[in-house]
């Protein structure tokens, strides 16, 4: 009975910077990507319980 609450967005922004993604683009898109990823991971966790 576990799940994901969210990502470490500071680390995600650092990774994006290391990959050459502009900070403004990462700041715009990462929260949206995070929400979808967390939903998908939690759905998978719920199915495995």
d(CA 27, CA 40): 21
d(CA 43, CA 22): 31
Check pLDDT > 70 for residue 23: yes
pLDDT of amino acid 45? 87
Measured over the CA atoms of residue 24, residue 30, residue 32 and residue 33, the dihedral's sign is positive
Asked whether the whole model's pTM tops 0.85, one would answer no
Domain boundaries defined on the chain: 9-48
Check pLDDT > 70 for residue 46: yes
Please state the rounded mean pLDDT for residues 12-16: 96
Among 1-10, 13-22, 34-43, the range scoring the smallest mean pLDDT is 1-10
């Amino acid at each position: 009975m576990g799940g994901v609450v969210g990502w470490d967005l500071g680390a995600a922004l650092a990774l994006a910077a290391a990959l050459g993604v502009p900070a403004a683009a990462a700041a715009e898109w990462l929260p949206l990507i995070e929400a979808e990823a967390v939903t998908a991971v939690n759905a998978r966790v719920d199915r495995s319980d």
